[in-house]
Structure 1
Amino acid sequence: MSEPGPYRSTPVFDQDSLPAALRARHDTKAGVWGVIRVLEGELKLTYLDPASEVILTPAQPGLIQPQQPHFVTPVDAMKMQVDFWDQAPPGF
């Protein structure tokens, strides 16, 4: 049996290439978790329900629950990637 892992990952985005769709309200599908990994710099993750904000860094990834509305905002120069899981990722 293989170790659990993400089934898909986005390309690496920077503050300029980060798609508008990720900067606006969106959510994952039912049964899909997202892990936002910051590779360089900082990224603000805003959860809409319940409302809260967190600053993500290379040492502090962000977890998105299935169907949880959220959006991200670059704090400054940054690089990030999103991993998609079909089960709750370990370590959260």
Structure 2
Amino acid sequence: MSAPIADRGPALPAGARAYRRIGPFGADDIPAGLLRRHDLKEGAWGLLTVLAGSIRFRWDDEEGGSRVLKAGDTVLIPPCVPHHLEREGAVTIEIDFCAHSAPEAA
């Protein structure tokens, strides 16, 4: 796997580990919450990987911007930075949630 695309900081800390994976989701199965503005809690990073097809990833912070992610791309999503996904056709994605140590259950 190539290095994740990292458009925003902070970077994934050394020693961070995945503590949860969701997906894979096809275009029709993507949870509605991922398609509207949301962010990750403090201390949690996301690694969104496109397994097939493509999807638009949009930053909803002051910098804004978006990029189309294609099969094989992984984007690093830092904590507390608002974002959402926009479907653009057939796609399969999965998301790994990472932290320096697994966050406590809410």
Query: If the length of structure 2 is used for normalisation, what is the TM-score?
Result: 0.75
- Percent of aligned pairs with the same residue? 32
Query: Helix, strand or coil: the match of 1:76?
Result: strand
Does 2:68 correspond to 1:51?
Answer: no
* Greater percentage in strand: 2
The alpha carbon displacement at 1:15 in A equals 0.6
Q: Does the CA-based 8 Å contact 2:51-2:91 persist in structure 1?
A: yes
Which residue in 1 is equivalent to 2:92?
79
Give the aligned length.
85
Q: Which sections of structure 1, spanning at least 5 residues, go unmatched?
A: 88-92
Query: If the length of structure 1 is used for normalisation, what is the TM-score?
Result: 0.85
Q: Which sections of structure 2, spanning at least 5 residues, go unmatched?
A: 1-14, 101-106
- Runs of 4+ off more than 2 Å: none
1:5-84 correspondence runs (5 A):
5-49=17-61, 50-84=63-97
